[in-house]
Structure 1
Amino acid sequence: MAFTTTVLTLTTGTAETVTDLTSACTEFLNRAAQGGDGLLNLFVPHATAGLAILETGAGSDKDLLSALHHLLPADDRWQHRHGSPGHGRDHVLPALVPPHATVPVIRGGLELGTWQSICLVDTNKDNANRQVRLSFLG
């Protein structure tokens, strides 16, 4: 059994984003898994961001942000009111887009479907600095 971990540091900017982490995960596994089998666990230590496995590049990432905007409007209905207007919705996001994901690793590679990518979902325009912990257990 091997356990290896690292932290990705990202700047997401001042707009709502879906950031593809798949290539960073692959690079980490090239070092950590060394061709073996196991699990990749990802964790976001932030109260206003989450992780999703979805198709990117064909509009699904924009569709996800649109759906979140519909479900969690950036208006004054939220009890949590510090930050920019509507920021309270960002604190509800992790209940819908969890701050963790686990993906099987087979022969050192991510066992994702053809169109699947691992993505950081960040609707918080007030905090552009994000971390994602990657941990391989194999």
Structure 2
Amino acid sequence: MVRSITDECREFLTSIGAADGLLHVWVPHATAGVAVLETGAGSDTDLLESLEHLLPRDQRWVHRHGSPGHGRDHVLPALIAPHATVPVLAGTMALGTWQSVCLVDTNGDNHQRSVRLSFLRG
């Protein structure tokens, strides 16, 4: 699953009255990551298909609790870090035109996720 959390990040920045600084996005889970990418034009699907190719959901994984192939979910954060830092200028994330901040999670065993946001004024 790839889900944009860009709106939640914007709401957070507004709620704290952010100006210039750095937004830090952290996902405290062993099987999820944060990516900055284009969504809605197929890039999110391409990412998931690429991960399936790189990390197939099969029995090769030593880590074997959960659903079949779940070990690959625990390798995901080594490829898509569980954090991202986004520059903020005048209270607005300095994202490119098509960029979104996204939660990436291939673990179907856990449907509850939390994201922690913090801001370093600069």
Aligned to 2:32: 49
> How far, CA to CA, are the matches of 1:43 and 1:51 in structure 2?
7
Q: Quick one: which of 1, 5, 15 aligns to 1:31?
A: 15
Unaligned segments of structure 1, at least 5 residues: 1-16
> How far, CA to CA, are the matches of 1:99 and 1:117 in structure 2?
15
Identity score, percent: 69
Structure-2-length-normalised TM-score: 0.98
1:78 correspondence with 2:64: no
Aligned to 2:4: 20
**What SS class does the counterpart of residue 85 from structure 1 fall into?**
coil
Give the superposed CA RMSD: 0.6
Question: Counting strand residues as a fraction of each chain, which structure ranks higher?
Answer: 1
Residues 46-125 of structure 1 mapped to structure 2, 5 A cutoff: 46-125=29-108
> Which amino acid in 2 is paired with 1:66?
E
Structure-1-length-normalised TM-score: 0.86
**What SS class does the counterpart of residue 53 from structure 1 fall into?**
strand
> How far, CA to CA, are the matches of 1:43 and 1:35 in structure 2?
18
**What SS class does the counterpart of residue 130 from structure 1 fall into?**
coil
> How far, CA to CA, are the matches of 2:33 and 2:19 in structure 1?
27
Aligned to 1:6: none
**What SS class does the counterpart of residue 68 from structure 2 fall into?**
coil
Q: Per-residue deviation at 1:137?
A: 1.2
> How far, CA to CA, are the matches of 1:70 and 1:35 in structure 2?
40
Alignment: residue pair count: 121
> How far, CA to CA, are the matches of 1:84 and 1:35 in structure 2?
42
Judged with a 3 Å threshold, the aligned counterparts in structure 2 of structure 1 residues 85 and 27 are, in CA distance, closer, same or farther, namely same
**What SS class does the counterpart of residue 62 from structure 1 fall into?**
helix
Q: Structure 1 residue runs of 4+, over 3 Å off?
A: none
> How far, CA to CA, are the matches of 2:8 and 2:27 in structure 1?
15
Q: Per-residue deviation at 1:35?
A: 4.9
